[in-house]
Amino acid sequence: MDSQEQNVDLLRGPGNREWFNEGTWKRGGLRGRNLAGLIGNSLAALLLLSYAQLAQGLSDDARRVVSIEDQFAFSTIGSVNLSPNDKWIAYTVETPRYEDETTHYQIFVSPVSGGDPIAFTEPDHSSWHPVFSRDGSALYFLSDREGTSPQVWRKCLSEGMGAKRLTSIDAGVTNIRFSSDETKLLLVQQDKDRTQPLVEGSDPWVIDRLSFKKDYVGYLGQRREHVYVYDLNSLALKQITFGDFDDGQPAWSPDDKQVAFVSNRGVDGTYDTDIWIVSADGSGEPQKLTSNTGADDTPVWHRDGQWIVTRSSKAEVPENYAVAHLTKVAVATGEQLWLTDDLNRNIFSPAFQLDDRYLYFLIEDSGEQQLGRLEWASHESVERLTEGPQVVSEFDVTDDGQLLFVSTSSDRPQELFRQSDEVPSQLSGINSGAMSALQLGQTEDLWFAAPDGLPLHGFVTLPPDYKPEEKFPAITLIHGGPVSQYDHGFSFEAQFLAANGYVVIRTNPRGSSGYGESFSLALWQGWGEKDYRDVLAGVDHVIKKGYADPDSLGVGGYSYGGILTNYLLGHTDRFKAAVSGAGSGHYLASYGHDEYRYWYESELGLPWENRQLWERLSPFSYIHRATTPTLFYGGELDWNVPIQGSEQLYQVMRRVGVETRLVVYPDEHHGEWRFANERDAMLRTLGWFDKFLKSTAETE
């Protein structure tokens, strides 16, 4: 389960069991050198091949189906950054390394006009987040070389110049936010721990906050995150925000005199963040800019300094279901104008381009994510710049309007594209070699109706050897969130299960994002009750199409997908096997134990005042009726959806005599697990479904 501001992150790893990341990135050398020597691994050979050769790949007979060994075989692209002269595009390639349980980040530079990418940073260190200098002669980037916490480095594009470290900050640097003259950095740093134990040798957490837990962090004491300015010349670090609040997402004003930032300085633990402005020299008190009581974040200054663009949600809509709109806020008055009311879709990554005449952003829509823009002067309608069944993420725009973006589709992991005159061309081939050896299952769109007539959407992936005259066992997967969506991006999980002989069904029931605010809000105060029938309607639709064996059905999910799986177990006996990852059991038992106090209170009410609703929605209230053999699993240290929920349901099912198993992964949180544990969970999932959905001969 996750709040909407976390959905993007949890769509990555185990939070949705999609097993791909779009995180940070890595390094190599520049033109004029031997490319293979610079890269020093198999990626060099792939880059030296033309993309036409890679795309041709092997014949269908020579290709193999997806195996567990492919789980970490694909790379991802991030931090796309265009040079000032529009000639070069820098980006980071993130490559999992299963053998040593690490992810390697390397920066590449590619000609915008097309041609082989060039490794800009070395393969023996991780480097990521490239940013071109104003004159285009160098790249700044983050790196943990020299065994330090991540620091800012600078390397010239010219031949023979090494990298120079620019910062020496104990806590490290997580983002590069330069002043316009590139002499100062905006940083977000956590306060130092100044608590004093009463007894020597004791080190307790002292809690005085309403919301006092966070997954991956632990108990939240009195340390807060604040904004600092770091001077690269004097190496001085100056704090400019203070108080018992967390501050983040700082952004320089065009004249470098002010800093906008995001903070919740109201009720502890709510989602009502606002945009604040403070003097860059730290003088004076921060001034609150926005008065909207919904969430405001991601401040982006217009170059005239008179307006700030935000991602904002309407105050009258419950926070976890609200669409993130674009707004413009007048710096002088705080007047806030809503720019995408008519769009009714979530917006991500707003950025000004083309001399700030256009505002570009990503649009989440009906299983896709596309690039759009608004003309700043009129901002009357959204222009969609990309189309088709894909998920666009990182992007940049040349001065003549060419689009550079990262895209993935159901049959292709992430690659970098250039689009000119509405025709996209592929610039990278980081996954072409791996994909050329694979025979994938075909993925199709599903459009069907819920029992009450509501139009629903999803996807079905067929086994690579699918034959219409045969009926295959089917596994229904349920996404996390719940305000999230299955999309047209490449899914290793779906392809792996399909390669093992399953029809894989992935639907977006009510509560999902991408279909408008009312579609998400339809789940309000009805977890399980309002969406489990949507899931079953998707199963019925696939059976009606003749794809699946109605007598051999499985179901599973992670996070909210596990929660809804748990609810289904007590309400239907149609499934012959289930796998529930990180699912809740009794919501009342989670109150005060997980990190979602405010979400529970704002939607379900206070438990001592609205106990009936809490009990009615809890999977624990119905699990004693379950008959489906179920595998429960999760991370030992998960405080997002704690393992206690799975423990509760496992206990009941064992007590009433249903075959079940509980697997707990030590030292793991809600996501970002060690690769070996990720692989173990996937193999156990497959083994459990094989045991109950296939014949003994097939299983063996």
**Kind and range of the H or E run holding 218:** strand 218-219
- 132: left (phi > 0), else alpha (psi -120 to 50), else beta? beta
- 36: left (phi > 0), else alpha (psi -120 to 50), else beta? alpha
Task: Single out the residue of 484, 486, 554, 557 nearest to residue 523, CA to CA.
Answer: 484
The one-character DSSP state at 442 is P
The one-character DSSP state at 178 is B
439 vs 350: CA distance, rounded Å: 37
Q: What is the pLDDT of residue 270?
A: 84
User: Do 80 and 22 meet the contact criterion of CB atoms below 8 Å apart?
Assistant: no
Where b means 16+ CB within 10 Å and e means fewer, 186-206 reads bbbbeeeeeeeeeeeeeeeee
- The first and second tokens of residue 554, run together, are 């499985």
Strand partners, 88: 111
The one-character DSSP state at 619 is G
274 vs 294: CA distance, rounded Å: 8
Strand partners, 368: 365
Rg of the chain (C-alpha set): 25
Tell me the CB-side half-sphere exposure of residue 207, using CA atoms within 13 A. 11
User: Do 475 and 497 meet the contact criterion of CB atoms below 8 Å apart?
Assistant: yes
- The first and second tokens of residue 313, run together, are 């949600």
Long-range contacts of 691-698 (CB under 8 A, 24+ apart): 691/577, 691/629, 692/554, 692/576, 692/577, 692/629, 693/473, 693/475, 693/502, 693/552, 693/553, 693/554, 693/576, 693/577, 694/473, 694/501, 694/552, 698/501
User: Do 531 and 511 meet the contact criterion of CB atoms below 8 Å apart?
Assistant: yes
125 vs 600: CA distance, rounded Å: 44
User: Do 119 and 35 meet the contact criterion of CB atoms below 8 Å apart?
Assistant: yes
Q: What is the pLDDT of residue 110?
A: 94
Identity (one letter) of the amino acid at 309? V
**Kind and range of the H or E run holding 109:** strand 102-111
Q: What is the pLDDT of residue 32?
A: 25
C-beta atoms surrounding 233 within 10 Å: 7
Tell me the CB-side half-sphere exposure of residue 563, using CA atoms within 13 A. 24
Task: Single out the residue of 678, 655, 630, 599 nearest to residue 68, CA to CA.
Answer: 678
Residue 551, C-beta contacts closer than 8 angstroms, at least 6 positions apart: 576
Strand partners, 297: 311
The one-character DSSP state at 337 is E
Q: What is the pLDDT of residue 58?
A: 54
Residue 422, C-beta contacts closer than 8 angstroms, at least 6 positions apart: none
152 vs 167: CA distance, rounded Å: 6
User: Do 153 and 143 meet the contact criterion of CB atoms below 8 Å apart?
Assistant: yes
Cα end-to-end distance, the chain, whole Å: 36
Q: What is the pLDDT of residue 5?
A: 35
Q: What is the pLDDT of residue 484?
A: 97
C-beta atoms surrounding 288 within 10 Å: 14
- 511: left (phi > 0), else alpha (psi -120 to 50), else beta? left
Identity (one letter) of the amino acid at 130? P
User: Do 65 and 499 meet the contact criterion of CB atoms below 8 Å apart?
Assistant: yes
SS3 content of the chain, % helix, strand, coil (to 5): 20, 30, 50
183 vs 230: CA distance, rounded Å: 9
What DSSP string describes 200-213? TT--PPP---SS-E
24 vs 38: CA distance, rounded Å: 21
- The first and second tokens of residue 510, run together, are 């009510």
- Taking the model in full, what pTM does it have? 0.90
**DSSP helix/strand/coil, 143:** strand
Q: Between helices 532-544 and 560-569, what is the axis angle to 10°? A: 80
Strand partners, 110: 89
- The first and second tokens of residue 379, run together, are 């901002």
Q: What is the pLDDT of residue 204?
A: 86
User: Do 414 and 78 meet the contact criterion of CB atoms below 8 Å apart?
Assistant: no
458 vs 441: CA distance, rounded Å: 16
C-beta atoms surrounding 665 within 10 Å: 21
Q: What are the residue ranges in the chain where pLDDT is below 70? A: 1-61, 159-160, 696-700
223 vs 233: CA distance, rounded Å: 29
Tokens 């065009």, located at residue: 254
**Kind and range of the H or E run holding 532:** helix 532-544
31 vs 161: CA distance, rounded Å: 12
Residue 71, C-beta contacts closer than 8 angstroms, at least 6 positions apart: 19, 98, 492, 496, 675, 678, 679, 682
* Secondary-structure class of domain 440-699 per CATH: alpha beta
**Phi–psi pair at 70, nearest 5 degrees:** -85, 0
User: Do 222 and 205 meet the contact criterion of CB atoms below 8 Å apart?
Assistant: no
> Could you tell me how far CA 468 lies from the centroid of its own chain?
36
User: Exposed, middle or buried by CB within 10 Å (0-12, 13-18, 19+), for 544?
Assistant: exposed
